[in-house]
């Protein structure tokens, strides 16, 4: 049974699924090449020869199709008058609340894949040591900048 998404949370950009797919494909590439090399070099004279050459790429393809969608469905955020909520996690669910009064500084980051698929990440650095950095990935660049500006204005008004 799949849990229903929280209606109060806003979804991240659909293009973020492609970012996740490319990252996962890059991770699987090394594993696949290693498995094929082991299969061809070390398992040639065994009855299981050919199994790794078939099973590992098949597992990679299934993973690249299924996992990003599951991760994407469990991403969400919400901006309220006094705090930012970030929810993520497929295997381990994390629901983080960041009060604006704890915010130290904010960053909007965009890597190569983010630029390619039109996404950005908002990085919120807070006071304290445990969970002092909260990242919301998969936002549109405009939305990430908008949230950054809203939080920054709130932080400025608290200082004044």
Q: How would CATH label the architecture of 76-159? A: Roll (2.30)
User: Cα separations (Å) of 53 from 22, 33, 39, 49, 66?
Assistant: 21, 9, 6, 8, 21
Render pLDDT for 83-122 as a digit per residue (tens, 0 to 9). Answer: 999 999 988 999 999 999 999 999 999 999 999 999 999 9
Please, are residues 149 and 126 in contact by the beta-carbon 8 Å criterion?
Answer: no
Tally the C-alpha atoms within 13 A of residue 61's C-alpha that lie toward its C-beta. Answer: 6
pTM value is 0.86
Render pLDDT for 31-69 as a digit per residue (tens, 0 to 9). Answer: 999 999 999 999 999 999 999 999 999 999 999 999 999
Beta-carbon neighbour count of residue 136 at 10 Å?
26
| pLDDT computed for residue 1 by the predictor | 47
| pLDDT computed for residue 5 by the predictor | 57
| Alpha-carbon span 148 to 18, nearest angstrom | 24
Mean per-residue pLDDT over the chain, rounded: 92
Show me where the domains of the chain are located.
Answer: 16-73, 76-159
| Alpha-carbon span 100 to 82, nearest angstrom | 6
Residue 145 has pLDDT above 60, yes or no: yes
Using pLDDT thresholds of 50, 70 and 90, give the confidence band for residue 155: confident
DSSP string, 50-79: THHHHHHHHHHHHHHHHHHHHHHHT-EEEE
The pLDDT of 146-160, averaged and rounded, is 85
């Amino acid at each position: 049974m799949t849990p229903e998404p929280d209606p109060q949370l806003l979804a991240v950009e659909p293009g973020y699924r492609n970012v996740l797919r490319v990252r996962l494909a890059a991770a699987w590439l090394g594993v696949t090449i290693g498995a094929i090399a082991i299969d061809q070099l070390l398992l040639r004279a065994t009855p299981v020869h050919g199994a790794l050459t078939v099973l590992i790429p098949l597992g990679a393809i299934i993973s690249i199709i299924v996992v990003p969608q599951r991760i994407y469905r469990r991403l969400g955020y919400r901006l309220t008058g006094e705090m930012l909520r970030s929810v993520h996690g497929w295997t381990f669910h994390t629901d983080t609340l960041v009060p604006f009064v704890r915010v130290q500084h904010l960053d909007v980051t965009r890597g190569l894949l983010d630029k390619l698929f039109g996404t950005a990440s908002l990085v919120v650095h807070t006071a304290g040591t445990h969970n002092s950095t909260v990242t919301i990935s998969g936002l549109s660049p405009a939305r990430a900048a908008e949230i950054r500006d809203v939080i920054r204005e709130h932080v400025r008004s608290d200082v004044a």
